Structure 1
Amino acid sequence: MNEQRGSTTQQSTADLARRLLAADSGGWSPEGVKALAAALGWAWQGTPDRPVLITGRPAGDARLRPVGTYEERHVDGESYVELAVPVALVAPDAAAQAAAFRAAREEVTEALGRPSVIGSHGDLGPFFDSGQPWGTPFVRWRGTPDTLELRAGRTGPELVLQPTDPAEDWFWRQGVGEEHSIGGFFGSNRDAANAGLGFPGGWTARSWETLTRSLADFLDALPTETTALGIRIAMPLYGRDGRGAPLLFDVVCGDRLAIACFARDEVDAAALGWGTVAEHPGTASIFDDDDPVWRVDAGGPGEPKGRALAEMLVATAKAAGVAEPTDLIIGGEASYVDGYHVTYYGLGLPTG
């Protein structure tokens, strides 16, 4: 059950967001963070390596993340790299989590304006923290010296105040080119707050099994994440087949995931698992600009079977003459989502 108490001024998510963004973190030193907690009216408890701030909020207490093994190379004097405050207790199913995140995002956006950064952390959150099985959406109001992030937490959405440089340095350093070194997707807009924002390099899927895994992870969580973020992704995928690079798939996802297949007639799409509009009537109005014969309705939050979908896409690409994963290309138009420029780091595919 969602126990978010957004109706009271003292406990609203919007009010908390304003207070966190205006707070002085004191360089994230122990003294500075204790002063921040006192200014917020929170009591300091726990141990030095597991400090907890007693907030009195219905959704639970705040957590501080001290600098440890994974954080130390990214800091410059900070003793802590984030303060996470739960804002709702939510049932564990994907639909409930997505709805609660979306509600919190809309409330904070109304208070602070559009976030400057949106995305999904993928299977690795900041400083190698594990994400949630249903999805890892986030939005950020980037600032200096601190950034406020709304993140998918263990029991529901959390507001996370963090020093900007350590988190961004960690992300930038993951661009080492190794397979799966970065997951999820990352989008930024033209907000002045993004001046100086750095972008890591990506990686390339070097085998079909690697691509199958990356597609499975992406598709499994996609409708939950797009629902939570309030966005619609339209991603054409082109396949080099020795004769050209025609449109092969169209992945469209808002509150549901639908995929179209445009393979040539020599590919037995039905045998590979594709259906028609008669079998997937919910897709009838999704592919506005084209009329694909072959399609699949993969469902809403929590419903897609990512591995099965990924295996179907890979098998279809091979049957269509795509020789290797690097011959599957994300259409450049997929990079533009609701005013944000998005990079799909977790897929390991080229964009063109």
Structure 2
Amino acid sequence: MNEQRGSTEQPLAEAPITDRPALPDLARRLLAVDTGGWRPDVVEALSRGLGWEQGGSADRPVLVTGHSSGDARLRPVGTYEQRYVGGESYVELSVPVATAAPDAAAQAAAFRAAREELTSALGRPSVLGSHGDMGPFYDSGPLWGAPFVRWRGMPDTLELRAGKSGPELVLQPTDPAENWFWRQGSGEEHAISGYFGSSNDPVNAGLGFPGGWRARSWETVTRSLGDFLETLPAEAVALGIGFGMPFYGRTSEGAPLLFDVTCDSDGLSIGCFVPDGVDAAALGWGTVAEHPGTASVWRDDDPVWRVHAGGPGEPKGRALAEMLVATARAVGVGEPTGLIVGGEAEYVDAYHVRFYGLGLPTG
């Protein structure tokens, strides 16, 4: 089995960042603005503090930045936000900071370039992860992936988030965003998607974590695992981290290692460990000869069965998930709760990561 992956920082093609103020300067200006408790006069305060003009309408206010990447958008408290706020009239200000081609590789590179620039200026983010298919306050994210990094603070938090056309810098009141996330821990299937990683940074003191949910059918596992695997290479590149995830299968013989999922800047590879008598080839698995991209991950014969699913935008998540579920059932895993994510998978670089969107137990 491969060793736990950490940082995947390697040179990439330069991301297509368009004209705008230097990101560190923009980030500091956002953090320095008096948001006034995010109450009605916040629009005037923000526009005055940033030197931008007010625009849009009452229900869709914008601040006209003059940048080619787009104007900043304020999100007023509406039906979906009301129960999570404590007097605020707005829950975020989103500033597009780059545009890129719509393909996953270009979007991931643009996000990574912005993240590296901000990290150099602000330090390591205290929180990172993926919003999955359900962003804050039930917003939908881009199909290529939904990575985010966050510099948590009080009363406001700064987040770099994947937007529809490129990365966006988001200033938000901390309490409503965290209240929304915490309340998603209802236990219902797909209540929370994506994954959430936090560091031991003192700024994370008091950070709450919602309860997870458990898949109740193999179809649910197939969907959640497919969604996760399809975007993982792009998100690994964007976040600059690598994933090393063992999966164990509980059978009448115990809970041996079944899969080893590894993903970094070289792409997504999955190794399979099945007992004699299981026809792995018939289930869709190949060898190193058929998947030479796995040679840098494992030795030639351990594991014998493997696939290399490719880099950003290349994995076929549903097909991969169907293969993993079929394999788990073929070796005798009788129910979804018998597919277990190894606890070591939760330690990624300097972060403790909770894989909420999988709906699988960890042990």
Identity %: 74
- TM-score, length-scaled by structure 2: 0.94
Q: 1:24 aligns with which of 16, 34, 39?
A: 34
For the 8 Å contact 2:16–2:110, the answer to whether it is kept is no
Counterparts of 2:242 and 2:98, CA distance in 1? 25
Q: 2:345 and 2:216 mapped to 1: Cα distance?
A: 22
Matching of residue 304 in structure 1 with residue 315 in structure 2: yes
Which residue of structure 1 aligns with residue 24 of structure 2? Answer: 14
Contact in 2 for aligned 1:140/1:149 (Cα 8 Å): yes
CA offset at residue 30 of structure 1?
Answer: 2.1
After superposition, give the CA deviation of every residue in 1:76-96 in whole Å (9 maximum; x if it has no partner).
110000000000011000000
Measured in 1, the distance between the counterparts of 2:210 and 2:314 equals: 31
Name stretches of at least 5 consecutive residues in structure 2 with no aligned partner.
Answer: 1-13
Aligned to 1:337: 348
2:109 counterpart letter in structure 1: A
Equivalent residue for 1:252?
262
Cα separation, 2, equivalents of 1:267 and 1:289: 20
Q: Could you tell me whether the CA contact under 8 Å between 1:26 and 1:33 is conserved in 2? A: no
TM-score, length-normalised on structure 1?
0.97
**Map of 1:134 onto structure 2:** 144
- Cα deviation for residue 290 of structure 1 reads 8.2
Match for residue 223 of structure 1?
233
Against the structure 1 CA distance between its residues 87 and 323, is the aligned structure 2 distance closer, same or farther, given a 3 Å change threshold?
A: same
Residues in 2 aligned to 1:18 and 1:288: alpha-carbon distance in whole angstroms: 47
In the other structure, the counterpart of 1:105 is: 115
CA-CA distance at 1:15 after TM superposition: 1.3
CA distance in structure 2 between the partners assigned to 1:196 and 1:148 by the alignment: 17
**1:319 correspondence with 2:348:** no
Pair 1:351-2:362 in alignment: yes
**Partners of 1:289 and 1:282 in 2: CA distance:** 11
Residue 90 (str. 1) matches residue 90 (str. 2): no
CA distance in 2, matches of 1:318, 1:80: 48
- Give me the whole-angstrom Cα distance separating, in 1, the residues matched to 2:16 and 2:115: 16
* Matches of 1:188 and 1:292, distance apart in 2: 32
Cα deviation per residue 1:313-335 (whole Å; 9 max; x = unaligned)?
A: 00000001000110011000000
**C-alpha separation in 1, matches of 2:67 and 2:39:** 24
Alignment of 1:1-352 (within 5 A): 3-5=16-18, 11-255=21-265, 256-287=267-298, 291-352=302-363
Q: Is the 8 A contact 1:180 1:346 kept in 2?
A: yes
Q: Is the Cα–Cα contact under 8 Å of residues 280 and 295 in structure 1 kept in the other structure?
A: yes
Say which structure, 1 or 2, has more relative contact order (CA 8 Å, 6+ apart).
2
Once the two structures are TM-superposed, the CA of residue 5 in structure 1 deviates from its matched residue by 4.0
Q: How far is 1:118 from its partner? A: 0.3
Q: Kindly provide the amino acid, as one letter, of the partner of residue 124 in structure 2.
A: R
SS of the residue aligned with 2:180? helix
**Partner SS state of residue 236, structure 1:** strand
The answer as to whether partners of 1:127 and 1:170 remain within 8 angstroms in 2 is yes
Q: What is the SS of the residue equivalent to 2:223?
A: helix
